[in-house]
């Protein structure tokens, strides 16, 4: 969602804030803005477009000062206009603020303010908060903030400057992430670590319902009832080189090419000689493992597809009922979960609100909760019983790639470890899978060399209006992921179906204009999938056949992609790579913004 940044200290806040916004641009890039508080009050500059456009607008207008806030927007309320861009002030310029999240009851609050004669500049829920806070403010920021949050419903994080308080800024978290960093006589706050990591490694992840005041000497904390408390700092080990393209044209291409080393990291400390052992990070006992009656895998988007692949693999090894569900649905279902339920939440950002709320929903039922996440300090990670780290390194490209692969490995290893603790994993299977897993990084790197063939296929088909992706078993969620990648970055309409389901309707769509990608690695379902290829060819639709080395390809196909052999259960690690690269190449040919596709954001912190 939106990215917000605040700074107070001896550096030029304009530079610090702009740099921070650039680092958070994957969270939203519809408009950007900055406000500094100097001796002659607020100076605000905002514009539709990216941080680069904001920099141009600032130009050499000499925007200098030691106190400032900034915002990069993913529009929720009000169109993409300069007026709706943040920061927003009240009509008397008593304060200015930036906001990430949604105020669900903003309309009723706005009606009261309009009735009180307040004039609005924008259509945003954010300006409603600014106008209301200014009316509540009588010189005591804490009191006004507590009252504001008693009246506002929804999930939000704010950073606020008060005109009569030039030596401090306030930030508040209620449902949307906010991290604070403390340096030598300076302090920073932001929606996420990349914005502040180069300035300080002592950080505080604000808790739910926490208010923080920053001044150059440090931070003070209160809850939403105005009660003060200490909040210890945490150190973060984010490698700043992860936040650079390392010579690649796009972060997405860099992250696709990192998947061999990502897999090595995802296995390290979890696989020994030829056995699986997660006791170092997942403290559950054999008794606990045996007590579970059900495993719920819950996630959104690409993470949901990774969870679905894991379900298809693990149901061969675990005797318990494994369910996989979309978080925004799971969240509102009358769950029959209880203390015998293991609920595993998959989220690379660890901040996806649908998944966070689904977690809170099942926790109420007493379930044991685990998160597989790339952000060990995220909201989801801080609210579960155990965390399985993805260790994929920061992923900047909005379209998830390397984190999908890291999620697959973390989930499959965790599930097999659970089966082992339950005495359900046969030693022979463990040895067979572990030896195949150890070869996967090399086979992934071999698959990455298919780029030229995929570039050629993309140039053949990137003008298509629609695509269909088919797969069976493990390859059905891989087909879903392939379709999502193509949709996300090339804006080509793409649907994925279980191959056996096609004849029950979608087959009506088939003709020469509709390319069909068939994911058909060598496994017990290959033959069935080959008959679906015949059905497709019978309707003249061009087929791109993605399979394993050594498999005889059907005749008369439009494209053939072969990935190296591996154990059937592990085919997704290899078959997904060509689909990522194909989407990348198609988007490149269509001139799309690959790292920041339209209408998307890297972590979705609204429902
Ligand atoms: C995937 O490319 C998308 N960025 C999106 O579907 C994403 O997977 C989804 O929003 C879930 O994000 P999370 O893993 O951070 O929870």
What's the gap in Å between 488 CA and the centre of ligand 1?
A: 11
What sections of 45-188 are H helices per DSSP?
Answer: 51-58, 106-115, 125-136, 141-151
Residue whose CA is closest, atom 4 of ligand 1?
399
DSSP assigned state of 493: E
Residue whose CA is closest, atom 2 of ligand 1?
399
Residue 237 has pLDDT above 70, yes or no: no
Which ligand 1 atom sits closest to the C-alpha of 488? 2
Residue 522 has pLDDT above 90, yes or no: yes
Give the pLDDT score at 534: 96
pLDDT tens profile 239-253: 666 678 889 999 999
Which ligand 1 atom sits closest to the C-alpha of 403? 14
Give the pLDDT score at 60: 81
The answer to whether residues 301 and 400 touch, using CB atoms and an 8 Å cutoff, is yes
Over range 124-147, report the average pLDDT: 97
The answer to whether residues 560 and 545 touch, using CB atoms and an 8 Å cutoff, is yes
Give the pLDDT score at 241: 60
Give the pLDDT score at 16: 96
519 Cβ closer than 6 Å to some ligand 1 atom? no
pLDDT tens profile 79-89: 999 999 999 99
Position 238 confidence tier, pLDDT thresholds 50, 70, 90: low
Other C-beta atoms closer than 10 Å to the C-beta of 505 total: 9
Position 55 confidence tier, pLDDT thresholds 50, 70, 90: very high
303 Cβ closer than 6 Å to some ligand 1 atom? yes
For residue 437, give both structure tokens: 């897993």
CA distances from 600 to 30, 362, 391, 397, 420 (A): 10, 28, 24, 11, 40
Give the pLDDT score at 104: 93
Position 233 confidence tier, pLDDT thresholds 50, 70, 90: confident
What's the gap in Å between 439 CA and the centre of ligand 1?
A: 28
What's the gap in Å between 346 CA and the centre of ligand 1?
A: 10
Position 327 confidence tier, pLDDT thresholds 50, 70, 90: very high
Please state, for a pLDDT cut of 70, what percent of the chain lies above it: 99
Sign, CA dihedral 24-25-27-32, equals positive
Position 44 confidence tier, pLDDT thresholds 50, 70, 90: very high
347 Cβ closer than 6 Å to some ligand 1 atom? yes
What's the gap in Å between 325 CA and the centre of ligand 1?
A: 14
> What burial letters (b/e) apply to 321-351, b meaning 16+ CB within 10 Å?
ebbbbbbbebbeeebebeeebbbbbbbbbbb
603 Cβ closer than 6 Å to some ligand 1 atom? yes
For residue 534, give both structure tokens: 């015949």
Give the pLDDT score at 239: 62
Over range 438-447, report the average pLDDT: 98
For residue 443, give both structure tokens: 């086979």
Other C-beta atoms closer than 10 Å to the C-beta of 41 total: 12
Nearest to 96 by CA among 104, 87, 109: 87
What's the gap in Å between 517 CA and the centre of ligand 1?
A: 22
Position 61 confidence tier, pLDDT thresholds 50, 70, 90: confident
Give the pLDDT score at 112: 97
What is the residue whose two structure tokens read 């929804």?
A: 154
Q: Which of 303, 394, 477 to mutate to test the pocket of ligand 1 (most atoms within 8 A of CB)?
A: 303
Over range 467-493, report the average pLDDT: 98
583 Cβ closer than 6 Å to some ligand 1 atom? no
Judged by DSSP in three states, 309 sits in helix
Nearest to 263 by CA among 521, 449, 438: 438
pTM to 2 decimal places: 0.91
Position 67 confidence tier, pLDDT thresholds 50, 70, 90: very high
Position 288 confidence tier, pLDDT thresholds 50, 70, 90: very high
Residue whose CA is closest, atom 5 of ligand 1?
301
Over range 312-322, report the average pLDDT: 97
- Return the higher-pLDDT residue of 564 and 244: 564
The answer to whether residues 481 and 404 touch, using CB atoms and an 8 Å cutoff, is yes
Give the pLDDT score at 243: 73
252 Cβ closer than 6 Å to some ligand 1 atom? no
Give the pLDDT score at 201: 73
pLDDT tens profile 524-556: 999 999 999 999 999 999 999 999 999 999 999
Position 54 confidence tier, pLDDT thresholds 50, 70, 90: very high
Which ligand 1 atom sits closest to the C-alpha of 380? 16
300 Cβ closer than 6 Å to some ligand 1 atom? yes
Residues recognised as catalytic: 2, 602
Rounded to 5 degrees, φ, ψ at 591 are: 65, 30
Nearest to 121 by CA among 88, 148, 95, 159: 88
pLDDT-wise least confident of 227-241, 423-437, 536-550: 227-241
What is the C-alpha separation between 461 and 591, in angstroms, rounded? Answer: 15
Helix axes 402-421 and 572-589, enclosed angle (nearest 10) = 160
The answer to whether residues 346 and 303 touch, using CB atoms and an 8 Å cutoff, is yes
Position 199 confidence tier, pLDDT thresholds 50, 70, 90: confident
Position 273 confidence tier, pLDDT thresholds 50, 70, 90: confident
Position 580 confidence tier, pLDDT thresholds 50, 70, 90: very high
CA distances from 212 to 81, 147, 225, 316, 450 (A): 30, 15, 13, 49, 51
348 Cβ closer than 6 Å to some ligand 1 atom? yes
Give the pLDDT score at 235: 78
Give the pLDDT score at 197: 81
pLDDT-wise least confident of 194-198, 254-258, 462-466: 194-198
Residue whose CA is closest, atom 9 of ligand 1?
301
Rounded to 5 degrees, φ, ψ at 69 are: -135, 155
DSSP assigned state of 176: S
What's the gap in Å between 600 CA and the centre of ligand 1?
A: 10
What is the C-alpha separation between 324 and 308, in angstroms, rounded? Answer: 6
Q: Which of 302, 327, 348, 372 to mutate to test the pocket of ligand 1 (most atoms within 8 A of CB)?
A: 302
Position 560 confidence tier, pLDDT thresholds 50, 70, 90: very high
DSSP characters for 530-552? HHHHHHHHHTT--EEEEEETTPP
């Amino acid at each position: 969602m939106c990215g917000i940044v605040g700074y107070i200290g001896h550096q030029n806040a304009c530079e610090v804030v702009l740099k921070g916004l650039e680092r958070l641009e994957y969270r939203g890039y519809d408009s950007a803005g900055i406000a500094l508080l100097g001796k002659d009050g607020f100076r605000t500059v905002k514009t539709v477009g990216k941080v680069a456009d904001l920099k141009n607008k600032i130009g050499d207008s000499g925007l200098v000062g030691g106190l400032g806030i900034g915002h990069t927007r993913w529009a929720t309320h009000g169109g993409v206009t300069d007026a709706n861009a943040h920061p927003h002030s009240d009509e008397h310029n008593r304060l200015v603020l930036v906001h990430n999240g949604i105020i669900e009851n903003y309309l009723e609050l706005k009606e009261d303010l309009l009735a009180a004669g307040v004039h609005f500049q924008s259509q945003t829920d954010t300006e409603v908060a600014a106008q209301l806070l200014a009316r509540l403010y009588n010189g005591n920021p804490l009191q006004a903030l507590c009252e504001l949050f008693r009246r506002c419903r929804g999930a939000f994080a704010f950073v606020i400057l008060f005109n009569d308080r030039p030596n401090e800024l306030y930030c508040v978290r209620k449902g949307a992430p906010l991290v604070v960093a403390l340096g030598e006589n300076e302090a920073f706050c932001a929606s996420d670590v990349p914005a502040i990591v180069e300035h300080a490694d002592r950080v505080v992840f604000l808790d739910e319902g926490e208010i923080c005041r920053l001044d150059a000497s440090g931070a003070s904390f209160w809850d939403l009832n105005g009660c003060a408390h200490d909040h210890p700092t945490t150190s973060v080990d984010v490698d700043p080189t992860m936040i650079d393209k390392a010579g690649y044209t796009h972060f997405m291409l860099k992250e696709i090419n990192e998947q061999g080393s990502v897999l090595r990291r995802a296995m390290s400390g979890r696989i020994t000689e030829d056995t699986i052992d997660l006791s170092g990070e997942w403290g559950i006992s054999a008794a606990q493992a045996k007590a579970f009656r059900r495993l719920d895998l819950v996630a959104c988007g690409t993470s949901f597809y990774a969870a679905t692949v894991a379900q298809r693999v693990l149901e061969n090894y675990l005797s318990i009922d494994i369910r996989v569900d979309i978080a925004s649905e799971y969240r509102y279902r009358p769950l029959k979960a209880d203390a015998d339920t293991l609920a595993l939440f998959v989220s690379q950002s660890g901040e996806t609100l649908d998944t966070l709320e689904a977690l809170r929903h099942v926790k109420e039922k007493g379930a044991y909760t685990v998160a597989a996440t790339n952000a060990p300090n995220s909201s989801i990670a801080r609210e579960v019983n155990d965390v399985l780290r993805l260790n994929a390194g920061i992923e900047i490209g909005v379209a998830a790639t390397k984190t999908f692969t890291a999620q697959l490995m973390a989930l499959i290893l965790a599930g097999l470890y659970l089966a082992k603790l339950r005495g359900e994993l046969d030693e022979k299977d463990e040895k067979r899978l572990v030896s195949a897993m150890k070869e996967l990084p090399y086979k992934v790197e071999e698959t990455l060399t298919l780029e030229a063939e995929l570039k050629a296929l993309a140039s053949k088909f990137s003008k298509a209006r629609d695509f269909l992706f088919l797969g069976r078993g493990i390859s059905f969620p891989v087909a879903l992921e392939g379709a999502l990648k193509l949709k996300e970055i090339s804006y080509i309409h793409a649907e994925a179906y279980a191959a056996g389901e096609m004849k029950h309707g979608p087959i009506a769509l088939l003709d020469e204009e509709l390319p069909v990608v068939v994911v058909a690695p060598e496994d017990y379902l290959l033959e069935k999938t080959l008959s679906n290829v015949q059905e497709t060819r019978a309707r003249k639709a061009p087929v791109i056949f993605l399979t394993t080395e050594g498999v005889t390809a059907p005749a008369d196909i439009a494209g053939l992609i072969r990935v190296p052999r591996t154990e059937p259960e592990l085919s997704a690690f290899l078959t997904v790579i060509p689909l990522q690269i194909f989407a990348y190449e198609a988007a490149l040919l269509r001139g799309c913004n690959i790292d920041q596709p339209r209408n998307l954001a890297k972590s979705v912190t609204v429902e």
